[in-house]
Amino acid sequence: MSRRCDVHKLKRVRKEGKQDIYKCQLCPAYYTESIVVGHQTTCWKCGRSFIMNVNSMLHKPMCGCQLGSKSKVSTTVKDAKQTVIDALLSKVGG
């Protein structure tokens, strides 16, 4: 039986003439571009978990730590949750 990991460490695999595929380097899982956006992955540079977005879809996805500011490209899971909470509170006037 193959082992699946909780947080994937994805690497983009180009398929000629088709959409890009992301393969987890820790388990035998493969995902399409449309599935990985919004899901948690591990940064190749710093090792922290973060939520994938279209800006972080590199050959080896990174959270933004390579830019010196994690908020420029993506955020950690904790920061992403806080961003959503803050946005909801501002809409309801809280």
Least-confidence region, from 20-24, 73-77, 82-86 = 73-77
In Å, what is the CA distance from 52 to each residue of 26, 81, 89?
Answer: 17, 13, 24
Q: What is the pLDDT of residues 14-59, one digit of tens each?
A: 776 777 888 999 998 888 888 888 888 899 888 889 888 888 877 8
Say whether pLDDT at 74 is over 70. no
Least-confidence region, from 8-17, 32-41, 83-92 = 83-92
The pTM (predicted TM-score) of the whole model is 0.60
